[in-house]
Structure formats: C-alpha cells, structure tokens
C-alpha cells in the first residue's frame, strides 16, 4: 500500500481510518486551488481524504511565502481511498468503504498494534526565537495595531529539532492519550507526517449547512479542582480574551456571508468554555445555510485560511505574519479532513501538532496566539509554552 493514509478521531464518538489510495492528487505550487477543486469535484460520489496547507493563501489572495520550510509538505494533497473504516464509541469496527479482506485486516491490525507501543523518544525542541526576540516581535505587531493597519493578528513561533528520528504512530497515540483533543488526526504522506492534537474545527458541512467553530482564548489547567475552576472562570470573564474571540467571530461571519443564503448566518454559541486535558478554551460556533450550487472552490475562496489563524483584517494580518514570522507555516494552520459521497465534509485546524520529515529527520512544532493591543507580550509567550508543553513531553518520553 502506498505511504498515504489518514486517521481522524474526535475521541468521543468516532475514529476513521482511510488507506490504500486508488487515486491521488498532489500539488506543490501553481494552480493548486483550482486543480484541487477539480479533483474533488471529479470524485464527488466517493470518499476523499486529504489536507490543505496554510500557504494555499497565496492563490486565494495576492500573497507569498518565502520563509524557511523545514518539513516541505506539498501545498495540497487529496486521495480517494480503497478502504475507509470507522470505530464507534464502543470500539466496534465498521467498513464504510471496501471489504474486510485479508489485506485490509492485516493493515488495520498492524496499525492498531501501535496503540500499545510506548515510544522511546529523546527529542529536545529548540525555540526558533529567544524570549527577547519573541517579545520584540509582539511589540512591533502592536505598533501596527496602533497605526490602524490591523485589529488582531495570530502570531506564531516555531519550536523545532534536527537530526532526530521518531516512531510516528506510537508517538501519535502517546500524544493523543495526553491531550484527548476533539479533532486529533494522523496523516502519512510519502515520508512526511502530521501528528496532531487539534481541538479546533475549521469547517463542517451537513447538507446545506456550514458550521465553523473558531477558538480564541486559552487558559492552562489548574493543579487542583479549585484552581482549575478559577482559571476557567477567569478565562470566560477576561475582557481581552473575549475581545479576541468576538473579532474572529465577526470575521468568520463576514466570510460566510459571501456564500451564504440571505440572512442565514448566525452565531449559535458565543464564548463557550470547553475544557481539554491540557487547556481551557473559548470556542464560538457560527453557522450558515448555502445553496446546493455553491462549489468547493467557492467555499475555499471565501473561507480559507481560517480567521482564527490569521487575524483581522485578514489580508493585512497575513502580510504581517509573513513579514514577522521566521518559518513557513506549511501544513501548520492549514486543515485536514474528508468529504463523504453525499457531499458533507469535516475539516479541522492544524494546531498543537508535531510535523515530521522522515527523510531529512526534522521536526517542527509551531505554536501561537492572537495579538491585540491588550495583549501582554510576556503572557503571550507563556501561553505558547502552555500550548507546546504536551508536544515537548511526548517527544521526550524516554
């Protein structure tokens, strides 16, 4: 079987494994957006799994990506699998596509054996920026906000390691045990790997409804129930965190309105507080109704990249991200997901992730947060350390 497969799990009701591609689309540059949409439309009666990297933004808008790319995923990759299997909440296996032949059962058994293997990793992540350099970057971005060029920007820094090797699947399952994140996924793509503990949904389609659930607002978990409750309460009442969240909610509402039916865009939940194994998060839910004639290309042009990973206004924020970040985001802050034969789809936001290039033995673990005028550079730096903590621990599981 070709070295392209995905495993998606929400850690509550369903996990899906897609493997053995019968048709593959990959694009590194050029007309990736249009060609990806054509591939997806060509196979509308089948399952399609894959990813979109952040740098597809350069085709959605007149932008560029010239920073260092350590992992080098192609810009877009999708495949039609021969087999799609799911595990429900009772861990019962069901074939959504393909038959339970010996080839498939052997692959699944080999895959599942990795769940019980404790990875022995000795990888130490290095920061791409010193704390002083990071704070200086935040100061510069806050000046851009004072000048009125942007209102908010999601600024990220990279933690990385070189000359390292990991057992990818055992490491993924170890990370998943630590985080139990809602939109976790594993992606293998010809020697490049994504091990993601993402808690965030980018976009889901159910019939004629689109649903987006941006995250903005983070607090660490407490060491006692009392401290944990206080941190959760403080997060919800924080004027700064709520302002970050509502700015992105407005951006998503505006993006959805470009393709939605008239007066159908609504905020279903504002400032929902959700608790995960390692953090508390503020999550809002926005939905809209779209006409059946709205194409995949229309949806991507209107909504990608997701506002929670850019800022507002979106184009100005992305220009400043390119100027001030020191690495090419690539798959980080892009999206992994799948399309069903009925046209429904579900895609996450690639954050809280380990990206690994097996050939050049390099790991990249970017993290970031939303910067506003009310942001404290010191606290933003500490938030980055909270977000990278589970990744570091998983990569040092000696």
Rounded average pLDDT over 4-14: 84
Considering only CA atoms, give the Rg of the chain: 20
Q: At what angle do helices 377-395 and 168-179 cross, to 10 degrees?
A: 130
Phi, psi for residue 289 in degrees, rounded to 5: -100, 135
Q: Cα(51)–Cα(347) distance, rounded to whole angstroms?
A: 9
Q: Cα(243)–Cα(257) distance, rounded to whole angstroms?
A: 21
Residue-level pLDDT at 230: 94
Q: Residue 39, by phi and psi: left (phi above 0), alpha (psi -120 to 50) or beta?
A: alpha
Task: Please give the structure tokens belonging to residue 290.
Answer: 């779209």
pLDDT tens-digit series, residues 47-98: 999 999 999 999 999 999 999 999 999 999 999 999 999 997 777 899 999 9
Residue-level pLDDT at 128: 97
* Residue 21 reports pLDDT greater than 80: yes
pLDDT tens-digit series, residues 138-150: 999 999 999 999 9
Query: Could you write out the DSSP letters of every residue in 132-200?
Result: HHHHHHHHHHHHHHHTTS-SEEEEEEEEEE-S----HHHHHHHHHHHH--TTEEEEEETTEEEEE----
Question: Which has the closest alpha carbon to 172: 194, 155, 143?
Answer: 194
pLDDT tens-digit series, residues 206-230: 999 999 999 999 999 999 999 999 9
pLDDT tens-digit series, residues 158-202: 999 999 999 999 999 999 999 999 999 999 999 999 999 999 999
* Residue 346 reports pLDDT greater than 70: yes
Q: Which residues contact 13 (CB under 8 A, 6 or more apart)?
A: 88, 89
Query: Could you write out the DSSP letters of every residue in 248-284?
Result: HHHHHHHHHHTTBPTT--EEEEEEEEEE-SSEEEEEE
Percent over 70 (pLDDT), the chain: 99
pLDDT tens-digit series, residues 118-134: 999 999 999 999 999 99
User: pLDDT band for position 281 (50/70/90)?
Assistant: very high
Helix (H, G, I), strand (E, B), or coil: what is residue 210?
Answer: strand
Rounded average pLDDT over 320-343: 97
* Residue 327 reports pLDDT greater than 70: yes
Residue-level pLDDT at 13: 73
Q: Cα(398)–Cα(393) distance, rounded to whole angstroms?
A: 9
Residue-level pLDDT at 397: 74
Residue-level pLDDT at 398: 63
Residue pair 327/68 in contact (Cβ under 8 Å)? The answer is yes
User: Which residues share a beta bridge with 274?
Assistant: 281
* Residue 334 reports pLDDT greater than 60: yes
User: pLDDT band for position 387 (50/70/90)?
Assistant: very high
Residue pair 381/358 in contact (Cβ under 8 Å)? The answer is no
Percent over 90 (pLDDT), the chain: 91
Residue pair 357/77 in contact (Cβ under 8 Å)? The answer is no
Whether the upstream peptide bond of residue 99 has omega within 30° of 0, thus cis, is no
User: pLDDT band for position 14 (50/70/90)?
Assistant: confident
**342: which DSSP letter?**
T
* Residue 258 reports pLDDT greater than 80: yes
User: pLDDT band for position 2 (50/70/90)?
Assistant: low
pTM assigned to the model = 0.95
Residue 265 CA: distances (Å) to CA of 205, 212, 261, 288, 293: 14, 11, 8, 4, 17
Mean pLDDT rounded to a whole number for the chain: 94
Rounded average pLDDT over 239-268: 94
Residue pair 369/383 in contact (Cβ under 8 Å)? The answer is yes
Task: Please give the structure tokens belonging to residue 174.
Answer: 């170890």
């Amino acid at each position: 079987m070709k070295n392209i497969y995905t495993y998606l799990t929400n850690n509550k009701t369903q996990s899906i494994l897609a493997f053995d591609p019968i048709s593959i689309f990959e694009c590194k540059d050029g007309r990736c957006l249009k060609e990806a949409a054509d591939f997806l439309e060509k196979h509308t009666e089948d399952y399609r799994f894959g990813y979109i990297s952040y740098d597809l933004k350069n085709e959605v808008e007149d932008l560029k990506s010239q920073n260092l790319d350590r992992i080098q995923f192609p810009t877009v990759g999708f495949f039609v699998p021969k087999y799609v299997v799911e595990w429900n909440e009772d861990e019962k296996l069901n074939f959504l596509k393909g038959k339970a032949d010996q080839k498939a059962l052997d692959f699944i058994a080999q895959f599942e054996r990795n769940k019980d293997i404790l990875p022995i990793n000795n990888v130490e992540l290095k920061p791409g920026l010193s704390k002083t350099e990071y704070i200086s970057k935040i100061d510069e971005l806050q000046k851009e906000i004072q000048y009125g060029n942007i209102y908010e920007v999601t600024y990220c820094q990279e933690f990385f390691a070189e000359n390292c090797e990991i057992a990818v699947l055992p490491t993924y399952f170890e990370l998943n045990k630590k985080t139990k994140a809602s939109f976790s996924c594993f992606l293998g793509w010809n020697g490049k790997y994504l091990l993601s503990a993402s808690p965030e949904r980018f976009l889901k389609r159910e019939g004629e409804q689109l649903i987006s659930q941006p995250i903005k607002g983070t607090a660490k978990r407490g060491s006692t129930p009392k401290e944990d409750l206080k941190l959760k309460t403080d997060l919800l009442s924080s004027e700064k965190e709520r302002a970050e969240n509502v700015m992105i909610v407005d951006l998503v509402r505006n993006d959805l309105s470009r393709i939605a039916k008239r007066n159908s865009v609504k905020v279903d939940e504002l400032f929902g507080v959700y608790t995960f194994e390692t953090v508390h998060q503020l999550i809002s839910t926005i939905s809209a109704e779209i006409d059946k004639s709205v194409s995949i290309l229309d949806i991507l042009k209107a909504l990608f990249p997701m506002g929670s990973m850019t800022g507002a206004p979106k184009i100005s924020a992305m220009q400043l991200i390119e100027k001030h970040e020191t690495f090419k985001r690539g798959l980080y802050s892009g999206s992994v997901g799948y399309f069903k034969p009925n046209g429904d789809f579900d895609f996450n936001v690639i954050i809280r992730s380990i990206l690994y290039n097996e050939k050049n033995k390099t790991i990249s673990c970017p993290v970031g947060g939303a910067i506003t005028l009310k942001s404290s550079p010191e606290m933003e730096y500490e938030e980055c350390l909270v977000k990278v903590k589970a990744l570091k621990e998983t990569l040092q599981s000696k």
